[in-house]
Amino acid sequence: MKGNTKLTKHLKKRSLIIIAVTLIILLTAGAYVYFTYFTLNPLLESQLRSQFGDEFFDDFAEEPEPENDSELLDDIIEKYEPHFETLENRALERLEELFTAAVEEYNQQRKTGRVDRFQLTNKYIQAGQLLENRVNDSFYSLLTRMENELNRKGLPTDIISEIEAAYIEAKDKKKEELFERLRDTLKR
């Protein structure tokens, strides 16, 4: 009996050590993946800004004219609509530029025989995240201004959630489309 108890304690201790080491390895790997793929690397951001220019990532907001005296919901929607469209068009143009630059860089690396897909993917995912963050900032700033104006005039704000839902849906569709195009490009 004593031998079994000693053996059991030893196995439990060993199992706990194995579990602890495994957890540490998983947490370290998870942190590495998170900080590599899901946070913006300041050095890479600097390189991207150097490659594309600061205005590429920052020049989105177009301020609507000051409030007018109109108390009509349609007039306020009409006032903000061109600004949302301009933001969308600029974002789509810049996404297209990023996509084109990624494909060109991939093709150049392929010609030299030294394609680093990990580095290239990381670079352009971060560029996309940086662009998305800036577009989000501009979009939500504009949406908040519109909502505040509607509130000040005592108008319904249901349109705000509709605009936001449409924005999120359009963004998700564009991401899917870009990944499909990228897969098709890489298959060639």
Q: Considering all CA atoms of the chain, what is the largest pairwise distance in Å, rounded to the nearest integer?
A: 91
Q: What is the pLDDT of residue 59?
A: 67
**Most confident stretch, 31-35, 62-66, 119-123, 138-142:** 138-142
Q: Please check the confidence at residue 2 and state whether its pLDDT lies above 60.
A: no
Alpha carbon distance 103, 109 (integer Å): 10
First CA to last CA distance, the chain: 68
Distances (CA, A) of 21 to 12, 113, 185: 14, 39, 41
**pLDDT averaged over every residue in the chain:** 84
Closest by CA position to 143, among listed 55, 57, 64, 59: 64
Q: Please check the confidence at residue 21 and state whether its pLDDT lies above 80.
A: no
Q: Please check the confidence at residue 3 and state whether its pLDDT lies above 60.
A: no
How do residues 30-88 score in pLDDT, each as one tens digit?
A: 666 666 655 667 788 888 888 888 788 776 666 666 666 677 899 999 999 999 999 99
Closest by CA position to 53, among listed 18, 4, 94: 94
Number of neighbours of residue 121 by Cβ within 10 angstroms: 14
Residues 157 and 147 sit within 8 Å (Cβ to Cβ): yes
Residues 33 and 115 sit within 8 Å (Cβ to Cβ): no
The H or E element containing residue 137 is: helix 117-152
Q: What is the pLDDT of residue 155?
A: 94
Closest by CA position to 134, among listed 54, 65, 66, 188: 54
